[in-house]
Structure 1
Amino acid sequence: MKIGILGMGGVGSFIGAKLTKHYENDENTQIFFICRNETKEAIVNNGLTLIAADKTINSRPYLVSDKPDEIGLLDILIIATKSYALGTAISDYQDCLKDDTIIIPLQNGVNAKNIIEKNIDHDSTKILEGCIYIVSNIEEPGIVKHMGGPGKIFFGNNDNHDFGWVGDILAKGGLDVTYTKDIQEILWKKYLFVSPLSTMSTALHISLGELAEDSIHMAKLKKMMIEVQELASKHKVTLTKEDIEASLAMLSKFPYKSKTSLQLDFENRNSNTEKNILVDFVIENGEKFGVDTDHYQEMNNIINTTRKS
């Protein structure tokens, strides 16, 4: 069994460290880290270090590479790149895919499968959908800190094929994973949490704790979640009032100083961000389906103004 992890940032490193550590003595399971440049060099030289609240894990995979011919054909490919890099990343490594390769994307949006389908030539490759609840940041190349969130992975499909066996493999590798046929609903439930939170924290330059303790900000956050709720209904996904309340309550489970990945990208002035997936997607689809997104547009205006300054 050859399992590849494409993208060794916060999410990919969390998953990679767990799988590598749990399968290090299994001769029949090989873990591949697919990464480049400083990250590749650091892991090759020093291994991958995951710092968590309870312990620190240092692990070394079967192979660290950015060359498809070295990696070869994979049985399972977990894609943990940022959403904006998904299309290019999967296209660059489609030579590692075979007809029965299982692809599990773990991006923040709700349309990762469509992006993958547009960027590969393998009609028979099994593209599932997935997400993960986690906050983990890169301390330096090859060293990642798990800041918060349960690290819970959901993945699945809505056709007649059963991929529960993939969940068994990942669970044996130390991951908290659930296989489901209701994956679209779960993706939108995560989006209900991540998109408004990322948008507000980026626009207002505040941590999750600062947002949670401000009643005015929380009221605004709830209104943005309602806008996502209405948009989800246009995609035939029902999000309830209880889902919104659960998302608001989830905020208290993260460390006070936690920041969203979108916020960090803006603070670090990264040229590429997930704004297109987390902010623009809502506004553009709102216009397309006739959904009012006034609160998103307000936050978006602040973000755009800040970006220009």
Structure 2
Amino acid sequence: MKVLVVGAGAIGGYFGGRLLEKGEDVTFLVREQRKEKLQQTGLEIRSKNGDLQLTPKLITKNDDSQLFDVILMSTKSYHLEHAIKDIQSFVGPETMILPLLNGIAHVETLVEAFGEERVIGGLCFVETTLSEDGAVVQTSPVNQLVYGERTGETTERIEKLEECFSGTKAEFVKSDNINQDMWHKYLFITAMSGITSLMEMPIGPIRDLESGQRTIQAFLEELVAVMEEIEAPIQQGIAEIQLKRINSMAAEMKSSMQRDVEKRQPTEFEHLQGYLLTQAKEVSIPVPILETIYTKLKLYELKIAMNKQMENA
């Protein structure tokens, strides 16, 4: 299969690199600046699952169009609209769009852009970042990508995709219930990113406090109440399951949103906390913790915007 990976950053670079390592036909769609850098250095992956030095195929949005069998979308949510425009000429009648974004709102956006049939479900669990020299650095051994038909069916194209993904040095998992998997991750990442960004601490010190433990639990219950009211496909008792997961994480674990705040970079708060806050308002469910977190992150974004205006004045 011909695979197009949108971006060669922390997530796309890692999973695309593992597919390329196996020998699959992988191309990376990148910006001109990133293309020039990769042409000089190659794609380097420093990983607990094995280091890599690769020479990837690279294209930009302005290159001659060619069609791909599957397109992995690994952009931040605030770059989604631009990414959709960038890949238009690479999408054919049979192309599968596999999004790896956090959250759930992007699915509707992709369906509107490319049609119901082209968009399959996906998510990933991996802790990666780009180093200052542009290498993809994996900081924990977990490297799972989950995918599947949103209908739950086992189709011929998903079987072909499974064959393409099998045998890599990363864990590619075909799911028969990808919608539920995506909502469960959405719950987890919204809670984890919200709590750590609000408290400005790794998860360990927060949960070690009795008040912190209660706050995490109450926040999960808030989010689940909204999801249940809008009939999201979540399983019973998922709040307790995710609480146990949070409590089992390494004490020094930070969310990617928290790291973005520390670096004074944009966050995905509208896509994560904002989307559920909108849903809560529509079904009249009080969510005081979610609203507090959203307000803090909104003010953070406004402060960043004001600072940029001052710098450009």
* Cα distance change on mapping 1:125 and 1:239 into 2, 3 Å: closer
Question: How much has 1:54 moved relative to structure 2?
Answer: 4.4
> Which residues in structure 2 correspond to 1:75-224 (within 5 Å)?
75-120=69-114, 123=115, 126-140=118-132, 142-148=134-140, 150-159=142-151, 160=153, 162=155, 163-224=158-219
Question: How much has 1:149 moved relative to structure 2?
Answer: 6.2
* Cα distance change on mapping 1:133 and 1:300 into 2, 3 Å: same
Corresponding residue of 2:16: 16
* Runs of 4+ off more than 4 Å: 252-255, 305-309
Check conservation: 2:100, 2:124, Cα contact below 8 A: yes
Q: TM-score, normalised by structure 1?
A: 0.88
CA RMSD of aligned residues (A): 2.2
Q: TM-score, normalised by structure 2?
A: 0.87
* Cα distance change on mapping 1:167 and 1:213 into 2, 3 Å: farther
Quick one: distance in 1 between partners of 2:87 and 2:27? 13
> Which residues in structure 2 correspond to 1:233-272 (within 5 Å)?
233=228, 234-241=230-237, 243-251=238-246, 254-270=249-265, 272=266
Question: How much has 1:296 moved relative to structure 2?
Answer: 0.7
Question: How much has 1:287 moved relative to structure 2?
Answer: 0.4
| Total equivalences in the alignment | 299
Check conservation: 1:112, 1:129, Cα contact below 8 A: no
- The 3-state SS of whatever aligns with 2:93 is coil
- The 3-state SS of whatever aligns with 1:132 is strand
Q: Deviations over 1:232-253 (max 9, x none)?
A: 2213423322x22332233355
Check conservation: 1:283, 1:297, Cα contact below 8 A: yes
* Cα distance change on mapping 1:259 and 1:37 into 2, 3 Å: farther
* Cα distance change on mapping 1:248 and 1:46 into 2, 3 Å: same
Quick one: distance in 2 between partners of 1:284 and 1:171? 39
Quick one: distance in 2 between partners of 1:220 and 1:37? 45
Structure 2 residue 307 is the aligned partner of structure 1 residue 292: no
Question: How much has 1:39 moved relative to structure 2?
Answer: 2.6
Structure 2 residue runs of 5 or longer lacking an equivalent are 304-313
Corresponding residue of 2:309: none
Question: How much has 1:85 moved relative to structure 2?
Answer: 1.3
* Cα distance change on mapping 1:37 and 1:140 into 2, 3 Å: farther
Question: How much has 1:83 moved relative to structure 2?
Answer: 1.4
User: Which of 79-88 and 250-259 deviates more?
Assistant: 250-259
* Cα distance change on mapping 1:213 and 1:56 into 2, 3 Å: farther
- The 3-state SS of whatever aligns with 1:280 is helix
Question: How much has 1:284 moved relative to structure 2?
Answer: 0.9
- The 3-state SS of whatever aligns with 2:17 is helix
**Counterpart selection for 1:48 from 43, 58, 64:** 43
Which amino acid in 1 is paired with 2:93?
A: D
Check conservation: 1:20, 1:60, Cα contact below 8 A: no
Question: How much has 1:185 moved relative to structure 2?
Answer: 0.7
Quick one: distance in 2 between partners of 1:211 and 1:170? 38
